[in-house]
Chain A
Amino acid sequence: MRRVRMLGWGLLALAPLVQASEGVEEPHPWQIEGYGTLAAHVADDPVVGVRGDGRNRNTSLNGRVRFDGDSLLAVQTRYEFAPGVQAVWQLLARDDVRYGQRPRNEWIYLGWDAQPNLNLKLGRTALPVFLHSETRHLGYAQTTARPVNTVYQLNPFTHVDGLALRHARSLAQGELRTEFSAGRAELALPSGTIDANRMVSLALRYDEGPWSLRVAGSDYRFDMHLANVQRLYSQLIAGTTACTNCAAVLAARAPLEGVHAQVQTVALQHESGSWSLTAEIARRSSNNSIVADSLAWYVLAAHRLGDWSPYAVLGEIRFKEPPLGLQTHPAAPAAARQANQLIDLYLQTPNDRRITQLGLRWDFHARAALKLQWERYRATREGRITGQSHYLEVPAPPPIGPYQGPAWDGRVNQWSLNLDFVF
């Protein structure tokens, strides 16, 4: 990480020493641009808090308006050393569980156009998992207030330190673009941190006229540092709940190290005239119940009426982990059995939900758009709520967490007002 940062600083420091090609008038070798969002969101549930982004520190709970959910500012500096050789540095300030509001290096890399349509990058770049992975924070480029959380929750990694390759070519009546990325990353989430030792991603995108089809696959190997889960494991193994097989089962089904996961996605877009349709589906599988096997999708339809674009989204995420089969000592009290059943359920990630969004985008300025969005979350798995900490902050009851208040009714509404701009 430090090496990557030093590489970027070094390259940018060298920039003024390199002369731009002379002759015809070329775009200036320096390019400084940026984007941002001024946002407010509010959720109406007294039990469950809602985040703007899965990595926010704070949630909106019980009608409290939050301005730190989607609000962000990013500045990108690009320097073209010579035709086809560039350094790019994107600084992003966005509320984050690890960095707070401090700017962080979202991207910093050295790029080289080996051929006009073949680009290599070395440094920190985006991991091209989803349709909007590379512009996840760029609200101005999206119809909705933010990428649809059902799908984008499946991969919280936004960047990778390593190598990226991008190639484009004409194919039939359209263009085929290939993106490959490999490297490693550290990630902080509200529930802890994740060290990804190896991430590899390959994406193919074909554009023809109004149609775009994107297919991608990613492979991850990582270790998790989740303090609450680690504490829970320690209690289980120590026999607090009279679990007889926890040590073996947790080691086999839910180890915190050596996790191996894959995500496959397919996205289809159609933009024709005033209508825009997007569908994206993602499947995640892993060798670990905490990174639960899951299937998520959304469908987005938008209709442009001059500067106004009303839109609607339907989406769902379903987790598909079989029970771990935690056993309780026969002589243990019933409460211990109930506790182990609840923990078993918790480790299956029973956080299935369906979302509905209705929104309106107003392109009131050449470089700014205002969005008003209503989103409804509805838990779809029957049974007890065990707690979760991502876009939704659902408090966990004992023995998983300390929460002892009223139960969540499984529904929460979120209102968002975002002003997205580029400069």
Chain B
Amino acid sequence: MRRALASFSLGLLTSVALAAEDAPLLRVGLSTAWAAPFLSQREGQAPEGLNAELGHLLAQQLKRKASFVMLPRARLDQAAEAGEIDLRCHTNPDWVRQPGLYEWSPPLWALPEVLVGSTNSAPLQRLADMRLDQTVGAVLHYSYPLLDAQFGAGTWKRDDAPAPDKALRKLALGRTQYAVTTQFELSHYLREQPDPPLGRWRLPLGHANAHCAVPRASKVRAADVFAALQALREQGLLDALLRRHGIPTVAVVAAAQSELPALGRDEVEALFLRRLKTLEDGRVPQLLVPGDAWLAPFAEQVLRRSAAQLRAEWSRATFSGGSRKPLQLDTPSQLRAQLRRQPLAIGVLPLHELDASLKILYLP
């Protein structure tokens, strides 16, 4: 079904592209440092993956034709400054040398970073447990706020690869002991490489938000691009794109300063279906869920139920004298505020609504 949808959407994009043969171009910068599911390219073929499809969708909204400019990540800034590209996505103001070169969209999705080890490496509960002189695979030119100080001090060795999938391949081959990557690239790698010699543990390292950025030197108006992005979101096309590439659109989160641990799916299910009130350590969290618009993605992606089934479960809990249903807050900002106030609160938020004040406890 997913494959059929992908074929359909690609077919749609192709036909639109053909119809827009004479349309003005939308020059989309793509980074060679990206890996699937964000970008994949076979020799002599057009780029594929989430970021390429997003470029096509935006071009379609703007009645333009997408033209991809593939560059090393470090060269994208130069191209933006020279007016050689109109758009780059999957980026962040902290990742570019001159954020002022661009106008920035609201966050599109969050990129949860994790540290993963080979089967021969010691599992880590926290970064401080890593032994000296361990080699950590990373991506060339990327910065890792939690690790950079240790790399700089020589505590751990940084081993750069041109893209995350290459860093994971080095890890699987035993050339590094650990690697840092996003959860999504790791999941894709594990799907493509059956049973690689990687440990099952993951150490969350926080998350960064991915934005689109329109260079100020571009002739395309940033407001038009951001309106097109908003239209994609409102039409559900952005979420459909993410889901098609196996990327969740919601996450179970807590305040960044909360001591709550990462959760497993079983634990999340037991808590949010109100079967249990406590965590494994006996603490009783307050549960927060978003408004009706985001209840369906939460129910389907996290609890593997429909929103109707979830509401039925909650009505059973409520009217059987059991637990209260989770507190439903209408807006993400209300939910974020409550999470910051209540260190024992666990909430569900759209992935693009995460910020540095939150940490991910469970990602479907």
Spell out A's residues near B (CB within 8 Å): 24-27, 31, 33, 35, 74, 76, 78, 88, 90, 107, 109, 111, 113, 116-117, 121, 125-126, 134-135, 138, 140-142, 166, 168-170, 173-175, 177, 207-210, 271-273, 304, 307, 363, 366-367, 369, 422
How far does the alpha carbon of A273 sit from the alpha carbon of B295 in the complex, in Å? 17
On whether the beta carbons of B275 and A24 are closer than 8 Å, the reply is no
Shortest distance from the beta carbon of A408 to any chain B beta carbon, whole Å: 36
- From A76, A117, A208, A367, B318 is in contact (CB under 8 Å) with A76
Contact partners of A35 in chain B: CB under 8 A: 315, 319
Instruction: Known contacts A135-B316, A170-B276; decide if A121 and B321 are in contact (CB<8 Å).
Output: yes
Q: Is the interface of A mostly helix, strand, loop or mixed?
A: strand
In the complex, are the beta carbons of B321 and A138 less than 8 A apart? no
Cβ of B277 within 8 Å of any chain A Cβ, yes or no, is: yes
Which residues of B lie under 8 Å from residue A121 when comparing CB positions?
321
Q: Which A residues are in CB contact (< 8 Å) with B280?
A: 170
Residues of B within 8 A of A (CB): 266, 269-270, 273, 275-278, 280, 282, 284, 286, 292, 295, 304-309, 311-313, 315-316, 318-322, 324, 327, 338, 341-342
Q: Are the C-beta atoms of A116 and B277 separated by less than 8 Å?
A: yes
A175 touches B321 (CB 8 A): no
Is the CB–CB distance between A166 and B311 below 8 Å?
A: no
Contact A166 B276 (CB under 8 A): no
Contact of B311 among A31, A107, A134, A366 (CB under 8 A): A366
A90 to chain B: which residues have CB within 8 Å?
319
Chain A nearest Cβ from B353, distance in angstroms: 19
B276 touches A168 (CB 8 A): yes
Are the CB atoms of B275 and A422 closer together than 8 Å? no
- Identify the interface centre among A170, A174, A209, A272: most chain B CB within 10 Å of its CB: A170
User: Contacts A116-B284, A121-B321 hold; do A422 and B341 have CB atoms under 8 A apart?
Assistant: no
Given pairs A113-B277, A208-B266, A369-B308, 9 additional interface contacts (CB within 8 A): A33-B318, A35-B315, A117-B278, A134-B316, A134-B320, A138-B316, A168-B276, A170-B276, A422-B315
Nearest-neighbour CB distance to chain A for B293, whole angstroms, equals 10
In the assembled complex, the Cα of A207 lies from the Cα of B307 at a distance in Å of: 19
Check if B306 sits within 8 Å of A304, measured CB to CB.
yes
**A-B contacts at CB below 8 angstroms, number:** 96
Also in contact, A31 and B324, with CB within 8 A (given A363-B306, A366-B307):
yes
Can you name the residue of chain A whose Cβ is closest to the Cβ of B269?
A209
Q: Do residues B308 and A126 form an inter-chain contact, with CB atoms below 8 A?
A: no
For the complex of A and B, 6 pairs with smallest distance between CB atoms: A134-B320, A363-B308, A116-B278, A24-B342, A141-B312, A175-B275
Establish whether residues B327 and A140, one from each chain, have CB atoms under 8 Å apart when the complex forms: no
Q: How far is the CB of A201 from chain B (nearest CB, A)?
A: 14
Question: Given A363-B306, A367-B311, is A27 in contact with B327 using a C-beta cutoff of 8 Å?
Answer: yes
Q: Which of A134, A175, A271, A422 contacts B309 (CB 8 A)?
A: A271
Option from A27, A111, A117, A369 in Cβ contact (under 8 Å) with B277: A117
Residues of the A chain whose Cβ atoms lie less than 8 Å from the Cβ of B266: 173-174, 208-209
Q: What's the nearest-Cβ distance from chain A to residue B277, in Å? A: 5
A134 contacts which of B284, B308, B321, B342 (Cβ < 8 Å)? B321
Interchain CB contact (< 8 A) of A273 among B286, B304, B319, B338: B304
Chain B residues with Cβ below 8 Å from A209 are 266, 269
Q: Which single residue of chain A is at the shortest CB-CB distance from B321? A: A88
Contacts of B316 on A, CB cut-off 8 Å? 134-135, 138, 141
Which B residues touch A271, using CB under 8 A? Answer: 305, 309
Residues of B within 8 A of A33 (CB): 318-319
Nearest CB in chain B: distance from A321 CB, A: 34
Q: A126 to B311, alpha carbons, bound, how many Å?
A: 21
In the bound assembly, the distance between CA atoms of A90 and B318 in angstroms comes to 11
Residue numbers in A under 8 Å from B286 (CB-CB): 26-27
B312 touches A25 (CB 8 A): no
- A143 nearest CB neighbor, chain B only: B312
Given the interface pairs A24-B342, A134-B320, A366-B292, the reply to whether A140 lies near B312 with Cβ below 8 Å is yes
* Chain A positions within 8 Å of B322 at CB level: 134, 166
User: Contact between A25 and B342 (Cβ–Cβ < 8 Å)?
Assistant: yes
A116 touches B282 (CB 8 A): yes
Question: A116-B284, A307-B308 in contact; A135/B319 too (CB < 8 A)?
Answer: yes
Instruction: With A117-B278, A126-B320 as known contacts, state yes or no: A138 contacts B315, CB within 8 Å.
Output: yes
Query: Of all chain B residues, which has the CB nearest A140?
Result: B315
Question: Shortest Cβ distance from A208 into chain B, in angstroms?
Answer: 8
CA distance in complex: A271, B318 (Å):
20
A121-B321, A140-B312 as given contacts; A175 in contact with B270, CB under 8 Å: yes
**In contact, B324 and A74 (Cβ under 8 angstroms):** no
Q: Is the CB of A76 within 8 A of B342?
A: no
Bound CA span A109–B309, Å: 28
Is A175 a contact partner of B304 (Cβ separation < 8 A)? no
User: Smallest CB–CB gap between A219 and chain B, Å?
Assistant: 22
CB distance from A73 to the nearest CB of B (A): 13
Task: State A246–B338 Cα separation when bound (angstroms).
Answer: 72
Q: How far is the CA of A134 from the CA of B313 in the complex (A)?
A: 12
Most chain-B CB neighbours within 10 Å: which of A25, A35, A126, A272?
A25
Q: Which residue of A is nearest B266, CB measured?
A: A173
| Docked pose: A175 CA to B341 CA in angstroms | 30
Name A369's closest neighbour in chain B (CB-CB): B308
Whether B321 contacts A109 by the Cβ 8 Å rule is: yes
Cα of A88 to Cα of B321 in the assembled complex, Å = 7
In the bound complex, what is the Cα–Cα distance between A185 and B353 (angstroms)? 52
Complex CA gap A271/B269 in Å reads 13
Looking at the assembled complex, report how far the CB atom of A31 sits from the nearest CB atom of chain B, in whole angstroms: 7
**B304 A107 Cβ-Cβ under 8 A:** no
Docked-complex contact B304 and A272, CB < 8 angstroms = yes
Partner of B321, one of A27, A125, A208: A125
Report the minimum CB–CB distance from A140 to chain B (whole Å): 6
